[in-house]
């Protein structure tokens, strides 16, 4: 599984480090360290960490069995 954290978006809330400490760790008060090639055995912890991130800065490719590419947005149509 491949992880990417948008460090520009990350605000250092550390929810990921609490939920998946073997994958994410805080270095100091604001610097996040993480394993970009996390082991699949940590899938459940990583899923909780991704969901708990208040700024949605964590992206996990292959977490749901797909390649991690978001589905295209559906355009809303209105009858006039």
Task: Name the pTM for this structure.
Answer: 0.75
CA 59 to chain centre: 4
Q: Cβ–Cβ contacts within 10 Å for residue 10, how many? A: 19
Parse the chain into domains and list their residue ranges: 2-61
pLDDT value at 74 more than 60: no
Tens-digit pLDDT profile for residues 11-65: 999 999 999 999 999 998 878 999 999 999 999 999 999 999 999 999 999 887 6
Class of domain 2-61: alpha beta
The per-residue pLDDT for 16 is 96
Q: What is the mean pLDDT of residues 52-80?
A: 66
Other beta carbons less than 10 A from residue 58's beta carbon? 25
């Amino acid at each position: 599984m491949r992880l990417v954290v948008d460090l520009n978006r990350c605000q250092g809330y550390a929810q990921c480090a609490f939920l998946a400490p073997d994958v994410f760790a805080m270095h100091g008060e604001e610097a996040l360290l993480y394993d970009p090639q996390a082991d699949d055995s940590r899938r459940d912890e990583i899923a909780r960490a991704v969901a708990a991130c208040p700024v949605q800065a964590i992206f996990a490719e292959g977490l749901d069995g797909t390649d991690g590419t978001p589905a295209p947005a559906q355009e809303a149509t209105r009858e006039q």
